[in-house]
Each structure stands twice: as C-alpha cells, then as structure tokens.
A and B are shown apart, each in its own frame.
Chain A
Amino acid sequence: MEKAVEEIISEVIPILTKFTKPDMDVTADSHLMHDLDLDSVKVMELMMELEDHFDISIPLNALPDVNTVAELASEIAQLKSS
C-alpha cells in the first residue's frame, strides 16, 4: 500500500501543478488549500481530473478528511483497491 501511495503521489503532483501557481513547490506534505492556495472550486476541478486519470469516482464525502497531497494519494489508493 505504501509503495502504491508513493507511486500515486508521483502521478498526482504533475496533475496538481496544472491548478497551482507556476512557482509553487508541491510535495507530499503540501496542504491543498493552505499551501497550494486551491479554493473549493479548483479542488473540485482537480478531483474531476484525478478521477479521469485513475478511472475512479471520488465521493464528495471523502473530501473533508483529505487535506494534504499524501492524504489525497492515500484516498485514491484505497478507492483503486476497493
């Protein structure tokens, strides 16, 4: 699972950078809203992109527990394995 999450992080970051300002450094610990300055609308657009990329549907109910890039990757890993 840990390896899967790391791989997913490496796939998530290039997608994430499409939604952040060009000079932002995105890491596994980056907080989506506080560090990367993503508002709720951008987070929704990001989710749609990730859903297409990983062929999953991310329930909106899961989002309140997803704050960082690592938590997002972990949620994706869980959805892919279920």
Chain B
Amino acid sequence: MSLLSRLQSFSDKHAISESTSVTPLSAVTNKLYSATEGDINGRRAILLGTNNYLGLTFDEACSKAGKQAIDNYGTGTTGSRLANGSYSQHKCLEDDIAQFYGVDHAIVFSTGYTANLGVISALVGRGDTIMLDEHCHASIYDGCNLSGAEIIHFRHNNAADLEKRLKRLGDKTSNTLIVTEGIYSMLGDRGSLKEICDVKQRYDALLMVDEAHSLGVLGKTGRGLGQESGVENQIDFITGTFSKSLAGIGGFCVSQHPQLEVIRYTSRPYIFTASPSPATIATTREALKIIVQRPQLREQLWRNATQLYNGLQELGYELSPEISPVIAVNANTQENAMSMWTQLFEQGVYVNMVLPPATPGSRCLLRCSLSAAHTSEQIKCVIEAFSNLRERSTVQKKIA
C-alpha cells in the first residue's frame, strides 16, 4: 500500500471528512469569553475539555508578566539552549521549580511531551529495563521506545504485579526505571504511589513519576501525588507540564540527584528543540507563585469536581472510579459516544470524546475536566445537559 493510500485508508476507517458538521476533530475555538466559556464553531459553550485546572489562562498577573517578557526579550528564543545559550529567565524558572519541590535540580523542557521523552530516553538505554504502569501516557511510551531499553508494563496501579516482574529480572533491577503517574489522564484516578515506593525501595530500582495532571491539584502546597502520599523523598525524578494547572506550555523534570544536570548534554529532545519562549517562562513563573499563594483555588477545584461527580452519579451514569478533576463517563460504544458528544455540544457543553486505543480497557469515554474557575451554575448546566441525553437510560451502570 502506498504512503498516501495508507493515509486515505485511515481517513476512510475513521470517517474523517471536511464536512461542516461539528465533530471533536473539526471543532474550532473562535473566541474565548473566559477560562471556562468560549465560542466553538459559532456556538457559545462551557469548556469542560481543557486541563485548565486552576483557571489561570486569563489571570491578570500571568498575562502582564507574559506581555512584559515579550517587550523585554522578544517573541521567541529561536534556538536551543545548548546551541544558543540560556536566557536568565530560563535559569530563574528552573530555580523556582527546584525551590517549589524542595530539591536541588530542575530542568525545563519546551513541552510536557518532550520532558517525558527527553528524561526517559536520557536515563535508560539498551541493556536497561523500564517498568511502566500500563495506563501511562503516550509520551512515556514514546520516551521508552526512543531509549532502546527493554520495556515491560505492569498492571495498572498493581504494586504486587510490579514486584512480580521485578523479581523476574534478578540482579538487573538496579538498571531499572519504574515509571508511574500522579493522576492518570483517561480515568482521573490516582496512582498507588505509596505501595509502588515500598516495592521500589526493596528492589533498588529508580522511580520516575509524571505529575502532569496532579501538579497544582494534589498535595498540601500543590506539588502532586508524591506530596499527598508523603513519599517525595523516595521519588528519584518528577516530571510535569506547564500546560495544565500552570496554564502555559512547557515541561520540567526535578530531582535530588545531581546527575540530572548531565541530561542537558545527552537528551536529544532537550538539545534539538528551541527553548521555551520568554512569554511562556514569565507566565509560568507567575502561575507557580499562584499555586503556592492561593490554595483556595485547589479547594474550589475539588468542590467543583465533587459537585459534577455527584450530579452525574445521581443521573445513573457509570463514572471513573474516584472523584477527581478528570471525570470520565462511560458511553459504552463509539456510536453512543459520538451521539452523546454532539448532543452535549448542541446544548453548549464541550467535553472530550476519547476512544480506543487511547483509552484503558477499550472504553469509549466522554471525559470532563473541571476547573477552579467553573461556577456552580455552570456545573448545574452541565449536569442538566447530561440529564437530557437520549442514551442516558441505555448506558446507565450496565457497562463492565
């Protein structure tokens, strides 16, 4: 099959078309009224498909800092740090992040995706082993593939299954990197970090935790699941993103190990990408301050999550396993998911439709992401929209 025919075949199979009907693939945001409302394809909609957990995308201090950074440093860095050098603000942001986590070393990447890609591929290589939770994000899988290490996955959140696999490795465990997440992006569930840390300590492996969805969301000062679980000192590397709670774009890795600094010279995704733009660095520094200074945002986020979770549960929908800022509604089939997504959109509610193979267990899901900026009234509107769905009676609590 030719290269273009293969693409056409994919397009035919997934019904990708240029038609004017709105689908998750063709939806375009024309205007944003606030962090939680926008105009999508000409329709005003409540935004429930963002990762804007703390609602900071329009924060005044962040915007001001970003504009000032453009005035002072220009719109882009136009090159990588290894070739073109670092801006002082890159170093300041790394210091801020290290201080936030209470560690000595931090490296900033251009995206969260390249943070995982860059850290994993620089830490392990041919002859080493990676043990990752089967629900880990694609960026982690891609980092594993880039590394050339042997990749073994263990059952989701199952420390006993991880231990069984570590035992099989024998004396190779000291060359093993375990990778898990704080909050898993598809079902919004927390990782079993405490149990995994217990196993990791017994087998002398290294542990990396991706706190992309848990930064700003979990822990007393918002550092994530490691902080909430009281096991931060057992985590060797924490990665995360600026594109969710921090409302920008970029990624990072922090560690107590001084060897982290070496990956600036060995990590291809770090070396061969333009460094984060001045505006991105400035808004992220402001947003990081807000995470520390305004814990009430985190509290509001959890109140909002609880309101929506309870409301959808009362309607009888089968939901992801725990209350979380990411709430997944099981739609059972792809047809249901598409129909439900469209009906929600027509009622002015924009959610994420996520389908296999991106979802665990081949589920067809509507994923709702809460923000601290959602009002109680908006969440009531969302619950009302879900109550009107034609499929409601057929997908209620009957899906395995």
Interface residues of A (CB under 8 A from B): 39-42, 44, 48, 55-61
Name 16 extra pairs, CB < 8 A, besides A40-B357, A41-B356, A61-B151.
A39-B357, A41-B357, A41-B362, A42-B362, A44-B153, A55-B168, A57-B152, A57-B165, A57-B168, A58-B152, A59-B151, A59-B152, A60-B151, A60-B152, A60-B153, A61-B145
Interface residues of B (CB under 8 A from A): 134, 144-145, 150-153, 155, 165, 168-169, 356-357, 361-362
Could you tell me if A56 and B151 are in contact, using CB atoms closer than 8 angstroms?
Answer: no
Q: Which residues of B contact A60 (CB under 8 A)?
A: 144, 151-153
Q: Which residues of A contact B134 (CB under 8 A)?
A: 44, 48
10 interchain residue pairs of minimum CB distance:
A60-B151, A59-B150, A57-B152, A41-B362, A57-B165, A40-B357, A57-B168, A41-B357, A61-B151, A59-B152
A57–B361 alpha-carbon span in the complex (Å): 20
A56–B169 alpha-carbon span in the complex (Å): 10
Total A-B pairs, Cβ < 8 A: 30
- Give the nearest-CB partner of A41 in chain B: B362
- Give the nearest-CB partner of A79 in chain B: B168
A56–B152 alpha-carbon span in the complex (Å): 11
A48–B165 alpha-carbon span in the complex (Å): 11
A44–B169 alpha-carbon span in the complex (Å): 20
Could you tell me if A41 and B361 are in contact, using CB atoms closer than 8 angstroms?
Answer: yes
Q: CB < 8 Å: which of B155, B168, B361, B362 contacts A56? A: B168
A41–B144 alpha-carbon span in the complex (Å): 18
- Give the nearest-CB partner of A63 in chain B: B151
Could you tell me if A61 and B362 are in contact, using CB atoms closer than 8 angstroms?
Answer: no
A29–B362 alpha-carbon span in the complex (Å): 26
Q: Which residues of A contact B151 (CB under 8 A)?
A: 59-61
A3–B361 alpha-carbon span in the complex (Å): 35
Could you tell me if A61 and B150 are in contact, using CB atoms closer than 8 angstroms?
Answer: yes
- Give the nearest-CB partner of A45 in chain B: B361
Q: Which residues of B contact A48 (CB under 8 A)?
A: 134, 155
Of the listed residues A55, A58, A60, the one surrounded by the most CB atoms of chain B closer than 10 A to its CB is: A60
- Give the nearest-CB partner of A55 in chain B: B168
A57–B150 alpha-carbon span in the complex (Å): 10
Q: Which residues of A contact B153 (CB under 8 A)?
A: 44, 60
A59–B155 alpha-carbon span in the complex (Å): 14
